[in-house]
């Protein structure tokens, strides 16, 4: 799990949706949709430009994303 450190969701900073909306399309932000596969498949509400990753296996994908960018995990 190179570069991956587990933590609690309550420890993570939160970004208000208005702030996120203003940053959509910015090259400095990566939005990762970590909703459960079924939730993701069953909804039409998706964030444009977001990538979907398995929330149960962050060790398999966390190193794909630059630590120089703002990483937003969407899990609502």
Q: How many domains does the chain have?
A: 1
pLDDT at 1: 46
- Any domain includes 28: yes
Tens of pLDDT, residue by residue over 3-50, are: 556 667 677 889 999 999 999 999 999 999 999 999 999 999 999 999
- Any domain includes 7: no
The encoded tokens of residue 69 equal: 């960018």
If we measure between CA atoms, which residue out of 72, 63, 58 comes closest to residue 26?
Answer: 72
Query: What is the value of pTM for the model shown?
Result: 0.81
- Any domain includes 52: yes
pLDDT at 3: 55
- Any domain includes 4: no
Distance CA 46, CA 60 (A): 22
Is the pLDDT assigned to residue 73 strictly greater than 60? yes
């Amino acid at each position: 799990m190179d570069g991956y450190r587990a933590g609690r969701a309550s420890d993570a900073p939160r970004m208000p949706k208005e702030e996120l909306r203003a940053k959509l399309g910015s090259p400095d932000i990566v939005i990762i949709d970590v909703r459960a596969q079924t939730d993701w498949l069953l909804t039409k509400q998706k964030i444009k430009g977001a990538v979907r990753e398995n929330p149960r296996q962050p060790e398999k994908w966390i190193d794909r994303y630059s630590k120089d960018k703002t990483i937003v995990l969407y899990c609502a």
